Amino acid sequence: MKKLIKKIVPAGILKWRHDILLQKELASHDESFAGKSPKEIFSKIYAQKMWGGATSDYCSGHGSHLKAHVDPYVQSVSEFLGQLPKPTDVVDLGCGDFNVGRQIRCKATRYIACDVVPDLIERNKTVYADLDVDFRVVDITEDDLPQGDVVIIRQVLQHLSNAAIMKVVKKLRKFRYLVLTECVPSGDFVPNVDQLTGSYSRLARGVPSGVVLTSAPFSMSVKSEKLICETPEQHGSLKVIVYEF
């Protein structure tokens, strides 16, 4: 029936209907999270399976499980970490279900994996007990960050408001390197359009924008930056950039 409707109804009307439904969904989504802390927001996201997954486990979404996204990332980040002098301490902020982190853990001497959801961290401690990972409950917007050489932030900031991102950016200079992964539009775009913290990214909201830390209002200063991986995504592309401070 849906295929038949798409054939009959003009594309412009279908897009108009999609945009109306999306705006209603976003309004309900933002209202449900209004005034809540990051712990409350992301605990609810995981509890209600907003990013998918089986009812009995946690899932950080397709970006953490699709091979087309994960495999190139693991290869490029493993190569980067492998060329650094040892020992190398890695701090993973927003580690989620750790499906990605587990595949690069062997490239670090010490690996500290942080997330704001306590139940998720407890689950990770059990599931990955044999990987020698220091799992910690950390609110990256409010808490002090662990010490390390390399900080990894993978598809986390795209879910935060600009005010929350700014709090994180101010703490990053304690590391030598930042490995940042964000989904951004293809071609030219206006970076860092603000949004409310929640399960949606800017692109998923239909906003042609993405997080770029070296652009206003964050204007993060770095010694160098290097794009080490880029893969196509539904709304644009996933870019993995290494920043040196």
Q: Is 130 exposed, middle or buried (0-12, 13-18, 19+ CB in 10 A)?
A: exposed
5 and 112 share one domain: no
Please enumerate in sequence order all residues whose Cβ is within 8 A of that of 131, keeping only pairs 6 or more positions apart, or say none: 102, 105, 111
107 and 27 share one domain: no
Strands 110-115 and 134-137: parallel
Please report the pLDDT score of residue 12 as a whole number.
53
> Max CA-CA distance within the chain?
62
Instruction: Enter the pTM of the model.
Output: 0.89
Q: Is 202 exposed, middle or buried (0-12, 13-18, 19+ CB in 10 A)?
A: buried
- Average pLDDT in the 138-151 region? 98
pLDDT tens digit string along 9-42?
A: 555 554 445 456 666 777 777 888 888 999 999 9
29 and 41 share one domain: no
Calculate the alpha carbon distances from 38 to 57, 90, 214, 218 in Å: 20, 23, 24, 20
26 and 141 share one domain: no
2 and 123 share one domain: no
Please report the pLDDT score of residue 20 as a whole number.
61
Q: In which domain, by residue range, is 96 found?
A: 37-244
150 and 198 share one domain: yes
29 and 120 share one domain: no
